[in-house]
Structure 1
């Protein structure tokens, strides 16, 4: 979240857009047994990134 905020601020100061890349594991695409909390955090990264992309487009 803080990285997205910092990048957005920098892009605005520079007067142009850019790309923000968020990294997560495959657990953000497929739920895996025994690692529910880990998978949930990876799904959250995907959701945050997708929402930020639409908000900032």
Structure 2
């Protein structure tokens, strides 16, 4: 199982819902691999993070 660490704070936004802020340094499990992104998550929160942002917004541990 792969783990990533966020290198910068990410704000998740969706219509009609309050934004969710995911803080720098948070560790997330890779739940699924897509052609150009990972589905990552923990504690009931999951979201997509792009491969192109590796070592910019996140890094693999």
Q: TM-score range by the shorter chain?
A: under 0.3
Rg larger for: 1
Q: Which structure has the higher relative contact order (CA within 8 Å, separation 6+)?
A: 2
Higher helix share: 1
TM-score, L = length of structure 1: 0.24
TM-score by length of 2: 0.24
